[in-house]
Each structure stands twice: as C-alpha cells, then as structure tokens.
Amino acid sequence: MCELLGMSANVPTDICFSFSGLIRRSKATGVHKDGWGVAFFEDKGVRLFLEPYTALDSKLAQLVKSYPIKSQTVISHIRQADSGKVALANTHPFVRELWGLNWVFAHNGKIDPVKKRKLFFYQPVGETDSEYAFCWILDQIRRRFSKKSISSKKLHQFIGTLIKELNHLGTFNVLLGNGQYLYAHCSTHLWWLTRKAPFGNASLIDANLQVDFQRHTTSKDIVTVLATQPLTFDEYWNMMDPGEFKILKHGVFVDI
C-alpha cells in the first residue's frame, strides 16, 4: 500500500519536517519505492513535484525536504504500485481544474471496480484506479452542481457521499483538496494531530531528526497534519475510524 501525508494550516507553513519522515518510508524504513509526489497550494496555484521512483534517492525530493516552501494546504504521497505501471503519469497526487480551482487528489488502497463507471468530462491520463476515481468524483460534482455558488455544506456532504460510495469498492484512504478545504477519508489507516500553542518538541520515528516548533511559530498558529501512520513518537496522534470522513480549513475541522 501507498502512504499519504496532508497538512492544513491557518498560516503559510512548510512541511519539511513531516516530509523528511515520509520519504524515509520510500526505501529506508518502508517499501514505497515506485514514485513520490507533493502538491503545495499557493492562492489558486499549485506547486507540484512528481517523480516515478524512490524519494529517498531523489535530488528533487531532497530539495523539497530542505527548502521551506510555505503553504496552507499540502498533499503528498509515496507509491507502492499495485494498479498501473511505474510511470510519471501514474504518480500521485493528481490535479484537475473545477470551477476555476485546482483540485488535488491522492489515494492509498485499491478499488479496481471503479473503472466500470462511466466518465463524462474528466479522463485519466494514466492507468491507475486512483486517477480514474478522482475523475469520477469531479465528474459527479460537475454534473450535480452547475456553479460554484452552491453552499459549502451541500458540497461537503455530496463529496462525503461520493467517497463513501467508492469505499464500498475496496480500500479508499483519500486526501482531496482545492486550496480552500482539505477532505480526508479513512478506509483502513489514517491518523491526525493538531499543533497549536503551547508548541513543543517533536521527534521523527523514521529519522534522527527533532524540531522545537516553538522557535518557528507564533501563538496564533494552527497546523493539522494527517498521515497514513504516525510520523513522530513523542506527540499524540489521533487514529481515524474506518469510514470516517473529515474536512479541514485553515487547520481546523469543519462541521457538516
């Protein structure tokens, strides 16, 4: 299975620390050697970095790990291929436009039956069930709502319904974002933690790396991180229940 990493924050924040732990799982402490990717939202734009091989040996991934790109919403993924060959076109996250916004999607799991569903507007470029599912979700949103002015609550509920429907086809751990909201669904494994004042120290499980967040934050900062498995051993991670669906905006969970 692949692994996911997401972040939602109320101020532009870098994800260097968490990303450093994630990419260790691509080879050193894990088997996710078939590609990696990370998307940083910046206003309506997205900085997207993708490669179809192990992140741990990648000079580009090392750059991302060390260069503090600031964003309020981040989605990242390391891949262990089980649907589609190892190729750039099959590397997560995937990006599509809807209502003048970039939508970004990453998936951990397998739902091959989704390819039997008809697509109308969005089409996959690669071969994965993940990208196909993403296209189907956006298709359904586009067909259901004619314009962006639809209420956020109705949109949130509809996205949750679509994701839960696909979850019945297999394993569907998902991160989906549009720069305004970050949607997260747990099918089998997904954890989260929120960092806010008073900030403290954190140590990675997969690397000999510690950080004192108090030195890099203000008392008003709120940062929520989601991961397939906890990334630190000295912070409290919350385990999501199978079938649980959450929405984040500016680091805070949104009620629907």
Q: Which residues are the active-site residues?
A: 2
- Which regions of 30-162 does DSSP assign to beta strands (E)? 36-42, 45-51, 71-78, 94-98, 101-110
Helix (H, G, I), strand (E, B) or coil at 89: helix
Helix (H, G, I), strand (E, B) or coil at 121: coil
Pair of tokens at residue 213: 């967040």
> What is the DSSP pairing of strand 201-203 with strand 210-212?
antiparallel
Confirm if 134 and 105 have CB atoms less than 8 A apart: yes
Axis-axis angle for helices 152-167, 129-144 (nearest 10)? 140
Rg of the chain in Å (alpha carbons): 17
Pair of tokens at residue 113: 């039956």
